Chains A and B, each alone.
Chain A
Amino acid sequence: MKVLGFILQKEFRQIFRDKTILAMMFALPIIQLIILPLAANFEVKNVNVAVVDYDRSSFSQKLINKIASSGYFRIVGNTISYRDALKLIEKNDADIMLEIPQGFERNLVREGSQQLNMSVDAINGTKSAIGSGYLTAVLKDFNRSLEVNINSVNSSAMVQSSVIDITYSDWFNPRREYKYYMVPGILVLLLTLIGGFMAALNIVREKEIGTIEQINVTPMKKWQFILGKLIPFWIVGMIVFTIGLTVMYIVYGIFPKGSIPVLYLFAAVYLVALLGFGLLISTFSNSQLQAMFVAFFFMMIFMLMSGFFTSIDSMPNWARQMSNLTPVTHFITVVRLIVLKGSGLWQVRQEMYYLIGFALLLNGCAIFNYRKTS
Chain B
Amino acid sequence: MKYFINWHVAPKEPQINMKQLFAFIRKEFYHVFRDKRTLLILFGLPVVQIVLFGFALSSEVKNIGISIFDNAHDNNSEQIINRIKTSSYFLLKDPVISYNEIEERFKEGSIKCAVIFPANFSNDLSHFGKAEIQIITDGSDPNTATILVNYLSAIISSYQSQLKPAQGISYQIIPQVRQLYNVEQNGSLNFIPGVIALIFMIVSTALTSVSIVKEKELGTMEILLVSPLKPIMVLIAKAVPYLVLSIINFIIILALSVYLLDVHIKGSLALIFFESIIFIITCLSLGLLISNVTNNQQTAMLISMMGMMLPTILFTGFMFPIENMPVIFQIISHIIPSSYYYIIIKAVMLKGLGFSYVWKETLILTGMAVFLLTIALKNFKIRLT
Given known A121-B180, A135-B175, A297-B44, contact A322–B137 (CB-CB < 8 A): no
Say whether B258 faces chain A, with CB atoms less than 8 Å apart: no
Say whether A219 faces chain B, with CB atoms less than 8 Å apart: no
Say whether A181 faces chain B, with CB atoms less than 8 Å apart: yes
Given known A287-B35, A288-B301, contact A167–B134 (CB-CB < 8 A): yes
Say whether B305 faces chain A, with CB atoms less than 8 Å apart: yes
Please, how many angstroms separate the alpha-carbon atoms of A287 and B214 in the complex?
Answer: 11
Q: Which residues of chain A are near B305, meaning CB under 8 Å?
A: 197, 292, 296
Q: Mark A126-153, 1 if CB is under 8 A from B, else 0.
A: 1111101101110100110011001000
Which of the segments A222-230, A312-320, A363-371 contacts the partner chain?
Answer: A312-320
- With beta carbons under 8 angstroms apart, the residue of A123, A128, A176, A286 that contacts B346 is A123
Q: Which residues of chain B are near A108, meaning CB under 8 Å?
A: 171, 173
Say whether B269 faces chain A, with CB atoms less than 8 Å apart: no
Check B297 against A288 for contact (C-beta < 8 Å): yes
Please, how many angstroms separate the alpha-carbon atoms of A337 and B111 in the complex?
Answer: 12
Say whether A251 faces chain B, with CB atoms less than 8 Å apart: no
Say whether A124 faces chain B, with CB atoms less than 8 Å apart: yes
- With beta carbons under 8 angstroms apart, the residue of A44, A120, A168 that contacts B149 is A168
Please, how many angstroms separate the alpha-carbon atoms of A233 and B152 in the complex?
Answer: 47
- With beta carbons under 8 angstroms apart, the residue of A21, A40, A167, A300 that contacts B49 is A300
Say whether A46 faces chain B, with CB atoms less than 8 Å apart: yes
Check A309 against B319 for contact (C-beta < 8 Å): yes
Say whether A218 faces chain B, with CB atoms less than 8 Å apart: no
Q: Which residues of chain A are near B189, meaning CB under 8 Å?
A: 122-123, 125
Nearest A residue to B132 via CB reads A165
Say whether B52 faces chain A, with CB atoms less than 8 Å apart: yes
Check B62 against A313 for contact (C-beta < 8 Å): yes
A residues 154-195 touching B (CB-CB < 8 Å)? 159-174, 176-178, 180-181, 193
Query: How far, in Å, is A351 (CB) from chain B's closest CB?
Result: 9
Q: Which residues of chain B are near A126, meaning CB under 8 Å?
A: 59, 190, 321
Check A122 against B324 for contact (C-beta < 8 Å): no
Which of the segments B6-14, B159-167, B227-235, B282-290 contacts the partner chain?
Answer: B159-167
Nearest A residue to B80 via CB reads A164
Check B133 against A348 for contact (C-beta < 8 Å): no
Say whether A113 faces chain B, with CB atoms less than 8 Å apart: yes
Residue in B112, B143, B150, B183 with the greatest tally of chain A CB atoms within 10 Å: B143
Say whether B144 faces chain A, with CB atoms less than 8 Å apart: yes
Query: How far, in Å, is A322 (CB) from chain B's closest CB?
Result: 7
Q: Which residues of chain A are near B323, meaning CB under 8 Å?
A: 45-46
Please, how many angstroms separate the alpha-carbon atoms of A133 and B146 in the complex?
Answer: 10
Query: How far, in Å, is A217 (CB) from chain B's closest CB?
Result: 25
Check A305 against B56 for contact (C-beta < 8 Å): yes
Q: Which residues of chain B are near A135, meaning CB under 8 Å?
A: 175
Check B41 against A294 for contact (C-beta < 8 Å): yes
Interface size class of A (residues with CB under 8 A): 35 or more
Nearest B residue to A336 via CB reads B140
Check A162 against B109 for contact (C-beta < 8 Å): no
Given known A170-B137, A178-B142, contact A162–B129 (CB-CB < 8 A): yes
Query: How far, in Å, is A340 (CB) from chain B's closest CB?
Result: 4
Check A38 against B329 for contact (C-beta < 8 Å): yes
Residue in B56, B57, B210, B297 with the greatest tally of chain A CB atoms within 10 Å: B56
Check A164 against B129 for contact (C-beta < 8 Å): no
Say whether A14 faces chain B, with CB atoms less than 8 Å apart: no
Nearest B residue to A296 via CB reads B305
Say whether A57 faces chain B, with CB atoms less than 8 Å apart: no
Q: Which residues of chain A are near B298, meaning CB under 8 Å?
A: 21, 201, 288
Check A122 against B108 for contact (C-beta < 8 Å): no
Please, how many angstroms separate the alpha-carbon atoms of A270 and B115 in the complex?
Answer: 35
B residues 178-193 touching A (CB-CB < 8 Å)? 178-183, 185, 187, 189-190
Nearest B residue to A116 via CB reads B175
B residues 216-246 touching A (CB-CB < 8 Å)? none
Which of the segments A86-94, A241-249, A272-280 contacts the partner chain?
Answer: A86-94
Query: How far, in Å, is A172 (CB) from chain B's closest CB?
Result: 5
Q: Which residues of chain B are near A133, meaning CB under 8 Å?
A: 150
B residues 118-152 touching A (CB-CB < 8 Å)? 125-126, 129-146, 149-150, 152
- With beta carbons under 8 angstroms apart, the residue of B44, B169, B310 that contacts A32 is B310
Please, how many angstroms separate the alpha-carbon atoms of A89 and B325 in the complex?
Answer: 21
B residues 313-333 touching A (CB-CB < 8 Å)? 314-315, 319-321, 323-326, 329
Query: How far, in Å, is A54 (CB) from chain B's closest CB?
Result: 15
Check A164 against B37 for contact (C-beta < 8 Å): no
Given known A123-B181, A167-B134, A289-B297, contact A143–B176 (CB-CB < 8 A): no
Say whether B58 faces chain A, with CB atoms less than 8 Å apart: yes
Check A167 against B133 for contact (C-beta < 8 Å): yes
- With beta carbons under 8 angstroms apart, the residue of B174, B297, B357 that contacts A114 is B174
Q: Which residues of chain A are near B45, meaning CB under 8 Å?
A: 297, 300
Say whether A61 faces chain B, with CB atoms less than 8 Å apart: no
Given known A39-B325, A171-B136, A311-B144, contact A122–B181 (CB-CB < 8 A): yes
Please, how many angstroms separate the alpha-carbon atoms of A347 and B343 in the complex?
Answer: 46
Check A39 against B56 for contact (C-beta < 8 Å): no
- With beta carbons under 8 angstroms apart, the residue of A43, A146, A197, A296 that contacts B143 is A43
Please, how many angstroms separate the alpha-carbon atoms of A169 and B106 in the complex?
Answer: 14
Residue in A45, A123, A161, A287 with the greatest tally of chain B CB atoms within 10 Å: A123
Please, how many angstroms separate the alpha-carbon atoms of A333 and B182 in the complex?
Answer: 34
**26 residue pairs from A and B, CB less than 8 Å apart:** A40-B314, A40-B319, A89-B180, A91-B357, A92-B347, A113-B172, A114-B172, A118-B176, A119-B179, A122-B183, A123-B182, A124-B190, A125-B187, A125-B190, A162-B129, A162-B131, A164-B132, A166-B152, A167-B133, A170-B139, A171-B103, A171-B136, A177-B142, A304-B57, A318-B56, A337-B108
Seen from chain B, the residues whose Cβ lies within 8 Å of a Cβ on chain A are 35, 37-38, 41-42, 44-45, 48-49, 52-53, 55-65, 91, 103-104, 106-109, 112, 125-126, 129-146, 149-150, 152-153, 156-157, 159-160, 163-164, 167-183, 185, 187, 189-190, 202, 210, 214, 297-299, 301-302, 305-306, 310, 314-315, 319-321, 323-326, 329, 343, 346-347, 350-351, 353, 357
In addition to A120-B180, A297-B45, A313-B65, 18 A-B residue pairs with Cβ atoms within 8 Å of each other are A63-B173, A112-B171, A113-B172, A116-B173, A118-B177, A127-B321, A130-B146, A143-B170, A163-B131, A173-B142, A180-B140, A289-B35, A293-B42, A304-B52, A305-B52, A310-B59, A313-B62, A341-B109
Seen from chain A, the residues whose Cβ lies within 8 Å of a Cβ on chain B are 20-21, 24, 28, 32, 36, 38-46, 63, 89-92, 97, 108, 112-130, 132-133, 135-137, 139, 142-143, 146-147, 150, 159-174, 176-178, 180-181, 193, 197, 201, 285-290, 292-294, 296-297, 300-301, 304-305, 309-311, 313-316, 318-319, 322, 333, 336-337, 340-344, 347-348
